[in-house]
Chain A
Amino acid sequence: MENFLQYLFDGLSIGSVYALMALGLVIVYRGTGHLNFAQGEMALFATYVVYQMGEWGIPIGFALIVGLAVGFAIGAATEVVLVRPIAKKSPFAVFIVTLGLFQLLNWLDGAIWGDQVLPNSGVGSKQSHFPTLFPSGDDDFVSIFGAAWRLKYLGVLVLVLVITALLFLVFNKTRFGLAMRAVASNPDSAQLVGIRTHTVLMVSWGMAAAIGALGGVVFAGINNTVNLGLMFTVFIYGSAAATLGGFDSPGGAVIAGLSIGVIENLAAGYAQEWVGQELKLGVAFVIIVVVLMVRPSGLFGTSKVERV
């Protein structure tokens, strides 16, 4: 029971990060119908920015806002400068461009901050660990039936639930949310009824990247460090979550993200011999393949009808 609860808590918390990544992917997909391969690397850049702010002694609350703004700017700029002009040519070109951006951003992070794990006193970092939003001391945990839920883990889950609720309100209760849904449903008609589709798409990409950036910052907070490979696996888990939930369903993405977090932790915990920490990623791989084979639209997505 203790073990089970422990796996469940850890799974829910780490799953929250996957949910954020998946949310970003879903928002982009609903907007322009692309899978943004650079999502994780956009988030990583913003995460490094937050680290740098910490180095300068800026409190994490303010640093986070700057990080989110940087994420938003990268996302919005990508849509305007790269995706919009190239999307007219072919979907393949968009894929290559996002992949190129993946490589470019990863290289840029390395070029600016170096390829070692940060913070690192060896290269003169002033911080002892990556700044976290929540209390992260050794005795900052709540005990539930003997299982410890560290406050910095619990905080992440709460944060994700709050963000999801906010997004739900934005999507369903605001004019802008209505415009976003209209553009997702039919861009041409949306434009005809006077919606500024360009602005909506730009903001969608920006929002997606900002949400991803939040995911990156809290994930680096959980790990205490940031490095160049930080987001590779998170991106795969996030896309597994988006696949499972359905690429056009934000609610599905969150539920699927949390479930994948729990499933992989249960698998790693109970099948230590076979899965363990090394093959956790295999869980995400299996989920992606099985869902795409059996139910390509995911659990909560709408299936796509193709016309010949």
Chain B
Amino acid sequence: MKSLVTIREDSVGHWVLRIVGAVALVVVLVWIPTKGGNGLITDVMEAFTLMSAAMALNLVLGYAGQISIGHSAFFGIGAYTTGICVSRWGFSPWVTFPLAFVIAFVVGVMVSFPASRIKGVYLALVTLALALVFPRLLTWRKLAWLTGGGRGLPQDDAEVSTTGFDIGRRAGQMRHFEIFGWDPFGDLRSIEAKTPFHYWIGALMVVVVYVVCRGIVKSRAGRALIAVRDNETAAAVMGVNLVATKAFIFGISAGLCALPGSFTAIRIGQVTPDLANLTLIGAITFLIVMVIGGAGSLSGPVIGAVLYIAIVSKTGSWADDDNIPGVLRPLFAWAKTPPGTGIFALALILLMFVAPRGIVGAWKQYSRRIVRVEPRPIGVPSTVDALAPSVGATPT
């Protein structure tokens, strides 16, 4: 297959491309909270939430091939860890992120033990049941002293967050976020300061989740995962410890999925059992976002989440026929609910026929015809190595 442009991997041209891409990304990321409206920022934060959860799910499903429709439960564990710790015990919200990770990690490892015996769609069944049971647990009266039952947290309406970085009043001490005396946001009690502040927390979370996922996927552990996905028996024969690998990846994935949960709790300022992302609907949304973006690719969930939020928020008001743009009105006017989820469900089904590896998979396949990045031959030093030969050049 002949492509129009061929670029050698790690050549100067390749690095220019990479840097241009990175700069463009940073410009967009900075433009949104400074120039964009509150609606846009909220949508992007929702996309951050979805892409982190989908990236976490991708580790288990896309890479290790273990079907899970129960990640909403891990998301919920994160949300409730933050909610409970901050509103009941007055923890600093920062601390609840690692705490949520650890708790969800432990639960994830526990889930992995049945998962190492149960395969394929049966595992999907177990995790589906988990997704349905989890919200019931939150409203269970034996746990109401902790979770706040059906009302959620904080218990007192007057305490529902309107001030800064907190859930409820008890943790409302933080009024400013200062880095070495520089106060970029101002008084966090105002919504104009709070929204960008939450935005940057979300952006940081996405970066952390992405870096962890990338680290795992590109390492020995990641190759073990792919081996397990492609042929479990063969992987075991080649020396992959199946039980340990699955326990590890379920734990990490659950822990990472708890982070967007914590983020959502902080962003909204309260947690309730009917938060969409911690019910079955959330689990299915994560899965759809991941598969549409591209299962088994690092950037897939990111693309999927952006697309999902773009379409869902664009069509969110379409239940009212007057809001539908003229050309599309005859198509959607009959529907009593917004068409977003329907469009995505249909896209998911169609995608399985035309591009089972998602948008990113299709992009990789077709973009090669235009620009092809030629892998660097083994033994040839890369540009980076050539610039700093003493650091880590391959001896040739």
Instruction: List the interface of chain A (C-beta within 8 A of B).
Output: 34-35, 37, 82, 85-86, 89-93, 95-97, 99-104, 106-108, 110-115, 232-233, 236, 239-240, 243, 273-274, 276, 278-279, 281-282, 284-285, 288-289, 292-293, 296, 308
Contacts and interface: CB of A to CB of B under 8 A. Distances in A.
B356 A100 contact: no
A35 B67 CA distance: 13
Contact of B345 (A37, A101, A292, A296): A101
Given A89-B352, A106-B341, A233-B132, 5 more contacts: A92-B67, A95-B67, A99-B284, A232-B280, A293-B117
B336 A111 contact: yes
Given A99-B287, A114-B337, A243-B125, A86 B118 contact: no
B129 A308 contact: no
Contact of B129 (A37, A240, A274): A240
Interface in B140-160: 140-142
A196 B356 CA distance: 30
Contacts of A89: 352, 356
A288 B133 CA distance: 12
A56 B299 CA distance: 51
Contacts of A279: 133, 136-137, 140
Contacts of B41: none
B342 A104 contact: yes
B176 to A, nearest CB: 42
Interface string B108-126: 0000001001101110111
B58 to A, nearest CB: 14
B133 A285 contact: yes
B285 to A, nearest CB: 9
A77 to B, nearest CB: 13
A299 to B, nearest CB: 16
B90 interface: no
A190 B251 CA distance: 45
Given A91-B120, A102-B284, A278-B141, A115 B348 contact: no
B344 A93 contact: no
10 contacts: A34-B121, A35-B124, A86-B353, A96-B348, A97-B352, A100-B345, A106-B341, A236-B128, A273-B142, A288-B125
Given A99-B284, A115-B337, A107 B342 contact: yes
Interface string B309-351: 0000000000000000000000000111101011011101100
Given A99-B284, A278-B139, A104 B133 contact: no
Given A89-B356, A99-B284, A103-B344, A111 B334 contact: yes
Interface in B50-79: 65, 67, 69
A97 B124 CA distance: 14
A288 B352 contact: no
A101 B349 contact: yes
Contacts of A103: 284, 288, 341-342, 344-345, 348
B130 interface: yes
B118 A293 contact: yes
Contacts of A99: 69, 284, 287-288, 348
Contact of B132 (A112, A274, A281): A281
Nearest to A285: B129
A163 to B, nearest CB: 24
A281 B141 CA distance: 15
Given A93-B352, A102-B284, A285-B130, A107 B67 contact: no
The winner among A103, A233, A240, A292 for most chain B CB atoms within 10 A is A103
Contacts of A106: 341
B141 A96 contact: no
Contact of A111 (B121, B140, B233, B335): B335
B204 to A, nearest CB: 31
Contacts of B287: 96, 99
Interface string B269-312: 00000000000100010011001000000000000000000000
The winner among B67, B120, B132, B334 for most chain A CB atoms within 10 A is B132
B288 to A, nearest CB: 7
Contacts of B130: 285
B118 A296 contact: yes
Given A95-B124, A100-B346, A279-B140, A292 B117 contact: yes
A105 to B, nearest CB: 8
A91 B339 contact: no
A89 B356 CA distance: 9
B132 A232 contact: yes
Contact of B346 (A104, A112, A114): A104
B234 to A, nearest CB: 9
Contacts of B128: 37, 236, 239
Nearest to A290: B114
The winner among A34, A91, A239, A284 for most chain B CB atoms within 10 A is A239
A288 B346 contact: no
A102 B346 CA distance: 10
